[in-house]
Structure 1
Amino acid sequence: MTGKKYLTEQAATFLKFAMATTDPDVAAGFLDKAADLQARSEEAPDASPRAPDVEQPKD
């Protein structure tokens, strides 16, 4: 599964593309994709490494 950090970085990239283009249809497509990736990142697990002696939170 894709991690939160990766999805957030990809969303930021699409936002940069949207700001760089002058075609409003293309910009709208980039914004839609960025919003989709950002929504997916909110549900994605955080893949940050943890020290082995840290107790994992119980869900």
Structure 2
Amino acid sequence: MKKTHATVNISGQSMEDILLALDQVHAKVTGGYLCGSDRNESGSYLFEIYEDDLLV
């Protein structure tokens, strides 16, 4: 059996920046991306989706 993990790192100058970055990460993951990053003058995000095998 596999377990899926997500690592997300977001920074911004305001809560609005954080929420915008969360929306962007959601759109990328929904679109099938397994990793990505972006930044501008007010914030940045980095994410990774990965799976590992569970030993049962």
What TM-score do you get using the length of structure 1 for normalisation?
0.36
The structure number with the bigger radius of gyration is 1
What TM-score do you get using the length of structure 2 for normalisation?
0.38
